[in-house]
Amino acid sequence: MATTSQDPKRLQTVPNAGDVFGDETPLGLGNLGGSTDGPLEVVHVFWVAGMSCDGCSVAVTGATNPSVEELLAGTIPGLPRAVLHHPVLSVSAGAGFMKSFHAAARGELGAPYVLVIEGSIPDDQAFPSDSGYYSAMGAGGFDPISEGDQPNRMTDWVLKLAPGAAATVAIGTCATWGGIPAAAGNVTGSMSLTDFLGQDYRSALGVPIVNIPGCAPVGDNFTEVVAGLLMFLQGLGPLPEFDELGRPSWQFKETVHRHCVRAGYYEEGTFAEMPGDQECLVDVGCWGPVVQCNITERGAINHMGGCMVAGGACIGCTMPGFPDKFAPFYKAPPGSFVSGSISRTTGAGIRRLRRMSQANMNRTPLWDRTGHVPTPFAKQMSQPSRVSRIEGFFYKKLQYNGSADLDKVNKTQPNPKTMDFLGRGSHQELERYTPGAPGEGAHVEETT
Amino acid sequence: MSTFTELPIDLGDDGRASLKDGPDPWAYETKELHPIEDTPEKLAKLLERDGQVRRVDFDPVTRVAGALAFHTVVDLESRQVLETDSMATLFRGYEIILKGRDPRDAIFISSRACGVCGGVHATTSALALEMAFGIQPPPMGTVARNLLLSLEYLYDHPLHLFLLAGPDFSEPAVRSTNPELWSKAQDTPAAGKAKHGFNTVAEIMTGMTPLTGSLYAEALHMTRVAREAYVLIGGKYPHPQTVVPGGISATIDASDMNEIMLRIGKFFDYGQKVVAIWDDIVEFFYEANPQYRHIGTRPKNLIETGQWDDPYAYDGTYANVDSWARQRWSTPGVIVEGKLVTTAMTAVNMGLEEFVEHSFYEEWTGNGKGPRGAQFPEDPLGNPLSPYHPWNKDTIPKPGSTSWKEKYSWSTAPRWDRKAMETGPFSRMWVTALSPPNDKTKFIEPTGHSLRMNVPGGALPKATVEWHVPEIWGAFERNRARANAILYTALIAYDNLLMGLDMMRKGETAVSTSYKVPKDFRMGAGFWGAGRGSLTHHLTMDDGVLENYQILTPSTWMASPKDPWGNPGPYEEAVLATPLLENFEKPEDFKGIDVLRTIRSFDPCMPCTTHIHTDDRVITREVITCACGVDDGSDHNHAHA
């Protein structure tokens, strides 16, 4: 039985608890932008968290292309301003925070909205009437909103808001595929948003669920897609392209190995033996060659970091098979035995040839001519080996074949007259800089 | 003061503990609760008060991480809080997902218990695994972990101070809840202008305005600066990819060190600025009304496990835990009523218990052979362990309707020596301030009553910033301490960075050690920290798989419901003690800003408070939901009876 403030067994509530910032100011006050050129000036974003760790929210606050504040302040030319309703970031609490959710659920928001789901979807709708939930937000039912205690389940909100959303975006591997709550031992019946809403779901604009996976995802992958969707809604761009699983195809079509900074080691057949080694991480448990992700290209934040860039092995956190199909972590994937062995064999030859060419490239034409590398750092490379010289000879022949033979020209160049100027002693005394003792400052003295 | 006053443990001067005699030394009596709405005579009296006594509920409490709801009963006439109940309302079942897995998976899985502070779970898990495996990282591996910890805090503290807690002190919030303070702020010059550039306190409040305020925007930017440095060796954030048992899987070169150093350096100036901002805010409110000192006050009972390991002292063993933990930058300890009662990690560990009288779990004791059925009556050194200790804990969910009298939260009630404890950046600083110095740092001096922080110059000149142990402990001091913690953390990060550079010079560049997963029975514990306080993982394993895994997070300590003796958890306790200084005329206008400032001053982070528990059904708050469309496949259709 829903209860109200008139109930003689209950105290009255306070209607505006938590509504510190007043009505209609979910986030941000004054001086906000938003394009007036397109059909939309404002788009609401309802962020609903299910079986979530809030990690996707945190990743999004790290995004810079665009940043959340650019989206929320409406400072991106042509784009509408996004009004975010988010349990971690919104300013008002309790009933004040929930007002807009109810307005959207009743179809009375007066502006289009995007629904974002973070976290897996629990099996709450399977519970018989009055028996509970795993994940909830707000209380008091939907129509009418009462002062009762019954929780509004997260899945209720999804069912209320998804049909009217201009677009529905699942962010993170929990919402897109199920993630860790849906892993072996799943006791909450957790599943992905796609599994929950099913194949027939389309947003109000006819768009299926957009999936942006990753645990946590690269923040830019999300904000970029949101910006793309807003461009589309504004009539400024096409609907972004999605792959067969609803992933933004330009972000997820390549394996993370293809753009990996360590992929070259794989090619040359050299592998890290211990965590922290600089080579390819396949033997310490990296699944990169079969994982679709762009973190090695895009970085983790502001184009910096990235799993294998830093030295961490890929555990497939963007993939529907995560985590169980990649466990136990830190164990070499079975498939890498075959591909790794092939790469070791061919890589060994390629590596030796490349080192010889590299040694040649590390000498200027002048040094080739004089046979001398005039730096004390470089004693060990001052005399190229006979094999290297022979290799260099044929290499240059092939390289310049059918074109201008710069090698030939270089061989006839005269050597500069003032080479080894200091060594020949034919110069005036130089002033030598001597650092002073601490506190004294530096000074210059005559050399003797 | 003896270390334990409530637990049946005698602790000798040699650090060896023994169990006091008695037939059932761990027994306790529970006290019945009498919440207002379950007590007709109380309720009848209050209902006569013509609407002056109200329920004030916050569901959800926003600007905290995760699912927190808070129930209060407030007397708006006498401006007192009469009753509080703190509710953790999300449940994901991580424990059963961890049980029976390869222990190596614990790092990446437990990290995902929390996406606000995931990295710290990864490291805590690695520490617990190292104890269980009998391994330790090379020194550079520990330095890298210390840097990751610092960088996580340098993202976390600004996030809390300006994105979560800060808006409650911003212009629109102050104008809406205490307009008289806004007028006063416009006439109050800001004492810290040389550090932060604002002329008046009102200008600071405008700067704290969500989204449009300069301080809000700057904090968001600084969280990114810290995270950029983090991902250089962590790979990504919030769930780092490089934490491994026995060290770290990061390839660290001179560019990484350079790029990290430049970013740490930015926090010297920023930290000085943030301290000046919060000093001005705090002192302004205190001056306007001394009662603000009592917002969110509670006893000075704090627990700290210590963190930032000495790379040369940490050996991963429980046998030596007291000595290596004392060598940390932040040393372990427990403060009771303002006095430091222990600095021994074994004593900190021994005093831990979790109770579930008012949580949705069943009592688990009775399965083992020890007193009260404890499975492990002693720790690996022979010290007594309570049957309610995390190593003995088993999670048996018992869903049911929420009742303020019986059960109302998915958080357990952790206690140390049967007392409610809080933890946070302030507990690290406070314990360090009261402890003897261990010469770990070049920049921070504990004085017994304060921390003196010698901050190198940047754009701002170098300065000594001193954080004083507060006389009255409340919400404003929590925020002020967290502001100081930016400098405290940045200086420890700098210490570690310089140490790492020295290791590179000496060629001590190994960051990981090899190991095999043992197949025999092992116990392990990780004692570490999160942005919002101490964090522990306790595990047992056998036959190469995890038998039990228990995570005790700072927000579990502080979001705690009442304990068996009816004593409130820290959020509940602090809100109960809060004076209501909000300016309102009618009950309808009441917004609860003082309650919200109190709750947020703890920096609640709920995802990992409720991560580990298993069950198939949660029934809460006298749930009367709906006959939903599952049976007939129709669309959702609510029918409230």
Give residue-wise pLDDT tens across range B529-586: 999 999 999 999 999 999 999 999 999 999 999 999 999 999 999 999 999 999 999 9
pLDDT of residue A183: 94
Q: By CA distance, what is B114's nearest residue in A? A: A53
Burial of B350 (0-12, 13-18, 19+ CB in 10 A): buried
Taking CB atoms and an 8 Å limit, are A21 and B176 in contact across chains? yes
Q: Does B624 touch chain A (CB under 8 A)?
A: yes
Taking CB atoms and an 8 Å limit, are A134 and B90 in contact across chains? yes
Determine the residue among A45, A75, A187 to mutate to test chain B binding: the one whose Cβ has the most chain B Cβ atoms within 10 Å: A187
Pairing of strands B522-530, B533-542: antiparallel
Q: Which residues of B touch A188 (CB under 8 A)?
A: 91-93, 616
Taking CB atoms and an 8 Å limit, are B55 and A12 in contact across chains? yes
Q: CA B126, B131, B133, B134: dihedral to nearest 10 degrees?
A: 130
Give mean pLDDT, residues B187-216: 96
Taking CB atoms and an 8 Å limit, are B242 and A14 in contact across chains? no
**Does B218 score more than 90 pLDDT?**
yes
Taking CB atoms and an 8 Å limit, are A310 and B234 in contact across chains? yes
B531 vs A18: which has the higher pLDDT? B531
Please give the structure tokens belonging to residue B218: 């700057």
Q: Closest partner residue to B591 among A18, A59, A186, by Cβ?
A: A18
Pairing of strands A210-212, A167-171: parallel
Tell me the C-alpha to C-alpha distance, in Å, between residue B328 and each of A62, A239, B487, B535.
Answer: 30, 54, 17, 15
pLDDT of residue A24: 46
Give mean pLDDT, residues A52-71: 94
Q: What percent of chain B has pLDDT over 70?
A: 94
CATH class, domain A42-248, is alpha beta
Q: Which residues of A touch B584 (CB under 8 A)?
A: none
Cα gap A39→B268, rounded to integer Å:
46
Please give the structure tokens belonging to residue A267: 């090619």
User: Residue B339: pLDDT band by 50, 70, 90 thresholds?
Assistant: very high
pLDDT of residue A95: 82
Give mean pLDDT, residues A40-46: 90
Taking CB atoms and an 8 Å limit, are B97 and A186 in contact across chains? yes
**Does A447 score more than 90 pLDDT?**
no
Determine the residue among A16, A32, A54 to mutate to test chain B binding: the one whose Cβ has the most chain B Cβ atoms within 10 Å: A54
Taking CB atoms and an 8 Å limit, are B236 and A14 in contact across chains? no
Give mean pLDDT, residues B227-252: 97
**How far A106 CA sits from the closest chain B CA (Å)?**
13
Nearest to B285 by CA among B8, B489, B582, B639: B582
AA letter at A288: G
Q: Which residues of A touch B220 (CB under 8 A)?
A: 61, 67-69
pLDDT mean across residues, chain B: 90
Q: Helices (DSSP H) in B329-413: which residue ranges?
A: 345-350
Cβ within 8 Å of residue B223, ≥6 positions away? A61, A62, B155, B156, B158, B159, B163
Taking CB atoms and an 8 Å limit, are A20 and B591 in contact across chains? yes
Nearest to B484 by CA among B466, B471, B457, B472: B466
**How far B378 CA sits from the closest chain A CA (Å)?**
30
3-state secondary structure labels for all residues of A63-75: CCCCCHHHHHHCC
Cβ within 8 Å of residue B557, ≥6 positions away? B303, B414, B420, B421, B422, B423, B533, B534, B569, B570
Maximum C-alpha span of chain A: 108
Asked if the peptide bond before residue A435 counts as cis, ω within 30 degrees of 0, the response is: no
pLDDT mean across residues, chain A: 86
First vs last C-alpha separation in chain B: 58
Q: Closest partner residue to A183 among B97, B626, B640, by Cβ?
A: B97
Cα gap B521→B180, rounded to integer Å:
64
Q: What angle do CA B359, B365, B371 make, to 5 degrees?
A: 140
Q: By CA distance, what is A135's nearest residue in B? A: B90
Q: Does B396 touch chain A (CB under 8 A)?
A: no
Q: Which residues of A touch B83 (CB under 8 A)?
A: none
Domain locations along chain A: 42-248, 254-361, 364-426
Q: Does B626 touch chain A (CB under 8 A)?
A: yes
Taking CB atoms and an 8 Å limit, are A138 and B591 in contact across chains? no
CATH superfamily of A254-361: Cytochrome-c3 hydrogenase, C-terminal domain (4.10.480.10)
**How far A316 CA sits from the closest chain B CA (Å)?**
11
Taking CB atoms and an 8 Å limit, are A18 and B514 in contact across chains? no
Taking CB atoms and an 8 Å limit, are A93 and B97 in contact across chains? no
pLDDT of residue B418: 97
**How far A136 CA sits from the closest chain B CA (Å)?**
7
**Does B162 score more than 90 pLDDT?**
yes
**Does A246 score more than 70 pLDDT?**
yes
Determine the residue among B90, B102, B143, B608 to mutate to test chain A binding: the one whose Cβ has the most chain A Cβ atoms within 10 Å: B90
Taking CB atoms and an 8 Å limit, are A275 and B511 in contact across chains? yes
Give mean pLDDT, residues A414-421: 89
A345-392 pLDDT, tens digit per residue, is 999 999 988 888 888 888 899 988 988 888 887 665 556 678 877 887
Whether residue B332 contacts residue B304, with contact meaning beta carbons closer than 8 Å, is answered with yes
Q: Which residues of A touch B266 (CB under 8 A)?
A: none
DSSP helix/strand/coil, B26: coil
Give mean pLDDT, residues B401-428: 92
What residues of chain B, 578 to 597, have a C-beta less than 8 Å from chain A?
587-593, 596
Taking CB atoms and an 8 Å limit, are A187 and B63 in contact across chains? no
Q: What percent of chain A has pLDDT over 70?
A: 87
DSSP helix/strand/coil, B201: helix
For residue B482, the surrounding DSSP H or E stretch is helix B475-506
Please give the structure tokens belonging to residue A261: 């900074």
Taking CB atoms and an 8 Å limit, are A129 and B628 in contact across chains? yes
**How far B633 CA sits from the closest chain A CA (Å)?**
11
Taking CB atoms and an 8 Å limit, are B172 and A183 in contact across chains? no
Q: Closest partner residue to A284 among B234, B249, B614, by Cβ?
A: B249
User: Residue B631: pLDDT band by 50, 70, 90 thresholds?
Assistant: very low
**Does A30 score more than 60 pLDDT?**
no
Tell me the C-alpha to C-alpha distance, in Å, between residue B184 and each of B213, B214, B215, B285.
Answer: 20, 21, 21, 10
The rounded Cα B460 to chain-centroid distance in angstroms is 31
**How far A303 CA sits from the closest chain B CA (Å)?**
9
pLDDT of residue A134: 79
Q: Closest partner residue to A305 among B114, B235, B251, by Cβ?
A: B235
pLDDT of residue A446: 44
Taking CB atoms and an 8 Å limit, are B210 and A15 in contact across chains? no
Which residue shows structure tokens 């953390």?
A: B489
Cβ within 8 Å of residue A228, ≥6 positions away? A237, A240, A248
pLDDT of residue B602: 95
| Lowest mean pLDDT, pick from A29-38, A47-56, B345-354 | A29-38
Nearest to A151 by CA among B64, B61, B621, B56: B621
**Does B31 score more than 80 pLDDT?**
yes
B370 vs B153: which has the higher pLDDT? B153
Q: Which residues of B touch A69 (CB under 8 A)?
A: 211, 217, 220
A222-244 pLDDT, tens digit per residue, is 999 999 999 998 889 998 999 99
**How far B166 CA sits from the closest chain A CA (Å)?**
10
Determine the residue among B52, B83, B91, B92 to mutate to test chain A binding: the one whose Cβ has the most chain A Cβ atoms within 10 Å: B92
B428-455 pLDDT, tens digit per residue, is 999 999 998 888 888 999 999 999 999 9
Q: Helices (DSSP H) in A198-315: which residue ranges?
A: 219-233, 249-252, 263-267, 295-298, 307-310
User: Residue B365: pLDDT band by 50, 70, 90 thresholds?
Assistant: confident
Please give the structure tokens belonging to residue A50: 């299910």
Taking CB atoms and an 8 Å limit, are A29 and B163 in contact across chains? no
Burial of A64 (0-12, 13-18, 19+ CB in 10 A): middle
**Does B634 score more than 70 pLDDT?**
no
Cα gap B412→B553, rounded to integer Å:
10
Please give the structure tokens belonging to residue A58: 């945190």
Asked if the peptide bond before residue B380 counts as cis, ω within 30 degrees of 0, the response is: no
**How far B62 CA sits from the closest chain A CA (Å)?**
5
pLDDT of residue A144: 65
Nearest to B327 by CA among B340, B342, B351, B343: B343
Break chain B down into helix, strand, coil percent, rounded to 5: 40, 15, 45
Model ipTM over 0.85: yes
**How far A118 CA sits from the closest chain B CA (Å)?**
11
A261-288 pLDDT, tens digit per residue, is 999 999 999 999 999 999 999 999 999 9
Q: Which residues of B touch A53 (CB under 8 A)?
A: 112-116, 118, 238, 607-608, 611
Taking CB atoms and an 8 Å limit, are A28 and B211 in contact across chains? yes
Q: Does B405 touch chain A (CB under 8 A)?
A: no
What residues of chain B, 502 to 541, have a C-beta less than 8 Å from chain A?
510-512, 514
**How far A401 CA sits from the closest chain B CA (Å)?**
40
Cβ within 8 Å of residue A344, ≥6 positions away? A269, A271
User: Residue B617: pLDDT band by 50, 70, 90 thresholds?
Assistant: very low
Whether residue A299 contacts residue B231, with contact meaning beta carbons closer than 8 Å, is answered with yes
pLDDT of residue B620: 29
Whether residue B264 contacts residue B257, with contact meaning beta carbons closer than 8 Å, is answered with no
- What fold is seen in the domain B9-89+107-609? Cytochrome-c3 Hydrogenase; chain B (1.10.645)
